[in-house]
Amino acid sequence: MKKLGFGLMRLPLLEGGSEDQIDIELMKKMTDLFMERGFTYYDTAYMYHRGMSERAFKEAVVERFPRECFTITDKMPMMMVQEEADLERLFNEQLERTGAGYFDYYWLHNLNRRSYETAVRTNAFAFVQKKMEEGLVKHLGFSFHDNAELLDRILTEHPETEIVQLQINYLDWNDPFVQSGKCYDVAVKHGKLITVMEPVKGGKLAALPEEAMEKLRAIDPKASPASFAIRFVASLPNVFMVLSGMSNLAQMEDNSAFMQEFKPLTEEEKEVLKECADIIRRSKAVPCTACRYCTEGCPMQIPIPDYFVLYNNVLENPGNDWTLQGNKRNYARLQDAGAGKASECLGCGLCEAACPQHINIPELMPKLAEVLEG
């Protein structure tokens, strides 16, 4: 199996459409190219695109290709599980939404300190093992957003885990909060295969500061910055699959082209990426990847990732009044569409608890309001 997976988290949207209005026809074209080039791995989840990702997968893939031609990973939304009975209900709903018949890979979604307690209390690991016995799941694993110490504990307590899905990219490799490198080492220590999410960090590593771009162009002027990011994680020995949340046909063209004949990074390329990471850290104000986990339970309906894009735009262009005013206008448009203001944040902390990047969102909201509402 080739190492590139189609992550169905950032699918193309209809022009002017909301997150759940997926451009199915464009998705079909992307899927066709993906399959033509010999790739077969898809990754979805209950909450992606407000519940429409699984249904889009059914329409673009399941209803158009024989079941043996593709593999699908889906995930139990642990943030929605309150009691053991929820597991069966949600699993059956996912089978219906996807129409897949069975899941090749099935993860407990977004395990962290809080959700792992829920998984233990509701016997979630045993539930997936039961589904394996019933032939409805082929492989058991979990996606993970916490520190290496907790990962070590979970893998020690649940050796039945086959595969771990980790956030790994060259920017987060030595990050003290995300701990990509440390988590990778823990998974290797336990002999687990690894599926990588966020290799391009929500697109952040596809649009680099000019100083970093110059360094990459010096190595290969034709290669995209995303190609270096994806090859970085695909070069790690225990990585089984690299997910890319492709949003348009150009991204699919690029990613599937360089991953068809995958070439591991050279030592020179690894050193240049370390230099690029240092440059990026100096330039980014908020390291949001737009996963939108933070918005699910926000009582004030604040579109936090959208606001962080605007905030970063302003801070990355200091003194540029044109940029400031343009982002203020976009901020106002979001409120016209029904979004809550940053200044209306209650500081409840639900967003911070859900954030895989461990961003202190309640602390940033007043600062963001000062810039975009002032």
Are residues 123 and 228 both part of a single domain?
Answer: yes
Are residues 240 and 302 both part of a single domain?
Answer: no
In this prediction, residue 29 carries a pLDDT of: 98
* Last residue of one domain, picked from the residues 228, 254, 283: 283
Residue 264 lies in a domain: yes
- CATH number where 30 lies: 3.20.20.100
Q: What is the dihedral of CA 206, 207, 210, 213, to 10 degrees?
A: 10
Give the range of the structural domain holding residue 189, as residue numbers without chain letter: 4-283
Are residues 118 and 237 both part of a single domain?
Answer: yes
In this prediction, residue 299 carries a pLDDT of: 95
Are residues 184 and 240 both part of a single domain?
Answer: yes
* Last residue of one domain, picked from the residues 261, 283, 305: 283
What does each C-alpha distance from 126 to 82, 91, 121, 133, 340 come to in angstroms? 16, 14, 11, 11, 40
Are residues 85 and 183 both part of a single domain?
Answer: yes
In this prediction, residue 337 carries a pLDDT of: 86
Distance CA 159, CA 124 (A): 14
Q: Model's pTM, two decimal places?
A: 0.82
Are residues 277 and 367 both part of a single domain?
Answer: no
Are residues 271 and 315 both part of a single domain?
Answer: no
Q: What is the pLDDT along the chain (374 residues), one digit of tens a residue?
A: 899 999 999 999 999 888 999 999 999 999 999 999 999 999 999 999 999 999 999 999 999 999 999 999 999 999 999 999 999 999 999 999 999 999 999 999 999 989 999 999 999 999 999 999 999 999 999 999 889 999 999 999 999 999 999 999 999 998 877 899 999 999 999 999 999 999 998 888 998 989 999 999 999 999 999 999 999 999 999 999 999 999 999 999 999 999 998 999 999 999 999 999 988 877 777 888 888 999 988 999 999 999 998 898 888 767 778 778 888 988 998 998 899 999 999 999 999 999 988 899 999 999 999 999 98
* Last residue of one domain, picked from the residues 236, 257, 283: 283
Tally the domains of the chain.
Answer: 2
In this prediction, residue 24 carries a pLDDT of: 98
Are residues 228 and 262 both part of a single domain?
Answer: yes
Are residues 356 and 275 both part of a single domain?
Answer: no
Residue 288 lies in a domain: no
